[in-house]
Structure 1
Amino acid sequence: MVAITRATLARQLSSSITTRTVVSSGVRKKYTKNKKKTVKQRTSSSTISPPLQPYNEIAGKSNVIAANGYDRYGNPTGREYDLGRDGAFMGFHILIAQFYFDSPFNDAAMQLPIDELKSKGFQVTHVKTEDACITELASNHYQIAWIISTSQIRNSKFISALTAFHSAGGAIFLFADNTPYVCHASEFLRKKFGITLEGNYYGGKIMTYKENGHQQIGNFGEHEIFTGITNLFEGITICHPVYSTPASREVFVTIATASDDNSSIAVYDPPPTSTEGRLCLDCGFTKLYVNWDSAGTARYILNASCWLSGIEKRLM
């Protein structure tokens, strides 16, 4: 397949579709204790046909009543409860840079999320070295990069390459775990926001959905990433962000708080005037390796990747 750049993809998506209706994200809002969640419907003179609608009707709703079925964790079963529709992300490319791997088991485990991403239409490339990642990032071929941190940055050019990718509109899913397996995510966030990652908290608990519960211990609040999820595994060994300024805490927004009362999932949605891509930070990457079948993990990872694509913005 011929490589599709981020700019070309945006033009193709907007020109090939005559009508569209998408659910607008409330991401850039500042979460407050008394603020109610609303799902806005954004329309224009054009709407896309139902098969190309990128998000399911349930988009943005965690607490699903009267679902067709529920799993043992209380989350609704069925792909119609995911954020993104199957096949809706054709033409989007994800680069997975897996720098942490301590056994062949991790390679086999990574195939599970790769297969699930493909079901949504994503094309996936999987690399394991910083050199290969830098080369791929510079290709202008990818809209999203997963960065799975390890204990050391070996190529001094890596952070600048990742920063350039993000500044040009590339979205990034940052995965970290306990110290010292935080280096890539922490160094990028330090240069971007003045935020570092540290900690080695043994979690293993399940976070629960609570309206406006983003910063409450053991809870997550309203966000498209948590569509169809009322219970979510927090990870086993977990780090947390350390904010250098109040401003950094405001711009990089916590959307889930682990059982140690620290931020465990946070997002950045750039302002409309910015050329940057979206960001999502996960502080417990054991979800990918040994806990894929735990509460809400698979849906959360897929939802986050769909949200990072910014597909609703590209269709505007």
Structure 2
Amino acid sequence: PSSSSNTTTVSSNTATISAPLQAYNDVKGKSDITDALAYDCHWNPVGREYDLGRDGAFMGFSILIGQLYSGIPHTDMHRSIDALKVKGFHVKHVTTEDECIKELDSNQYQVVWIISDTKIGNRDIISSLTTFQSNGGAIFLFADNTPYVSHANEFLGKTFGVTVEGDYHGATTLTYAENGHQQKGHFGQHEIFTGVKNLYEGVTICHPVYSSEGSRKTFVPIATASDGNTCIAVYDPPASSTSNEGRICLDCGFTKLYCNWDAAGTARYIVNASCWLLRIENRFT
């Protein structure tokens, strides 16, 4: 898509870029799309016009991928990186906590992915993430079965009083249902699920444990695994908030990033979530 001629400064970045005329496709927020020209074998509509973000609309924005879990071959991340680049994102991929901290502190990124490992080696990673998010950076947290939850668990515990645990063998497909956010085996309406009617839940998955009903209302479940536990949750700072906090998304089955990229809805959901996390409509001043 074309860009407007007026340049504006992007928050949390020193670059000056033009605001896109329209960052999102017309189907924004719709999962049950009945008039697509074609559907894949999972009955999700075929074509990038059914994604949340328009191709190329996110040029000038950067995503840092902190792959702290070492079990993913580096070459297996290229499909997710390539998919993000189609939307216009610049992507940097690092594999150690020290590299991740250095990049987070550079103020060059608007979104960071954190793929959790079994333990935290450098505890400064949590304070760097906290500072990043409180200054407007968005975080996509990935966890899997215990013990591959450490970074997500530590950050969410500090931020919301939410812990992450569990080792459920899922490997089934979740289905969209109106208001289905907390229905077993379903997900509900959310921009992250644009163009996704069926979504693979992951293989071995964990779930968030809420310390209070208040924490559940703040860090909101939007998808429920086939065992009845939350498997995707989000934090969206209220519009009335005077803080500059970034959005947060938790995914509880990160093997989908490399083992199940072609499973139901995975690629679209991951890229949609990254576009939503950016909150592009608030990035121009």
Measured against the shorter chain, the TM-score band is over 0.9
Question: Quick check: 1:191 aligned with 2:158?
Answer: yes
CA deviations 1:78-133 (Å, max 9, x no partner) are 00000000000000000000011226xx2121000000000000000000000000
| Runs of 4+ off more than 6 Å | none
Question: Partner residue of 2:47?
Answer: 78
Query: Does the 8 Å contact 1:177/1:284 carry over to 2?
Result: yes
Query: Does the 8 Å contact 2:166/2:205 carry over to 1?
Result: yes
CA deviations 1:178-237 (Å, max 9, x no partner) are 000000001000000000000000000000000000000000000000000000000000
Among candidates 116, 121, 135, match of residue 88 of structure 2: 121
CA deviations 1:144-175 (Å, max 9, x no partner) are 00000010000021111110000100000000
Matched AA of 1:80: E
Query: Does the 8 Å contact 1:6/1:141 carry over to 2?
Result: no
Among candidates 6, 22, 45, match of residue 11 of structure 2: 6
Distance across 1 between alignment mates of 2:237 and 2:178: 24
Query: Does the 8 Å contact 1:287/1:297 carry over to 2?
Result: yes
TM-score, normalized by length of structure 1? Answer: 0.84
Among candidates 193, 205, 221, match of residue 188 of structure 2: 221
Question: Quick check: 1:289 aligned with 2:258?
Answer: yes
What's the % identity of the aligned pairs? 64
Distance across 1 between alignment mates of 2:217 and 2:11: 28
Uncovered stretches (5+) of structure 2, i.e. residues with no partner? 1-8
Question: Quick check: 1:139 aligned with 2:106?
Answer: yes
Uncovered stretches (5+) of structure 1, i.e. residues with no partner? 18-47
Aligned ranges 1:167-186 → 2 under 5 Å: 167-186=134-153
Distance across 1 between alignment mates of 2:16 and 2:74: 34
Matched AA of 1:261: G
The offset of 1:7, in angstroms, is 4.0
SS at match of 2:207: strand
Query: Does the 8 Å contact 1:214/1:222 carry over to 2?
Result: yes
Question: Quick check: 1:152 aligned with 2:157?
Answer: no
Question: Partner residue of 2:279?
Answer: 310
Among candidates 58, 64, 68, match of residue 27 of structure 2: 58
Query: Does the 8 Å contact 1:5/1:140 carry over to 2?
Result: no
Question: Partner residue of 2:213?
Answer: 246
Query: Does the 8 Å contact 1:6/1:142 carry over to 2?
Result: no
Distance across 1 between alignment mates of 2:13 and 2:205: 38
Matched AA of 1:153: I
Distance across 1 between alignment mates of 2:244 and 2:129: 14
Question: Partner residue of 2:6?
Answer: none
Query: Does the 8 Å contact 1:83/1:228 carry over to 2?
Result: yes
The offset of 1:12, in angstroms, is 4.3
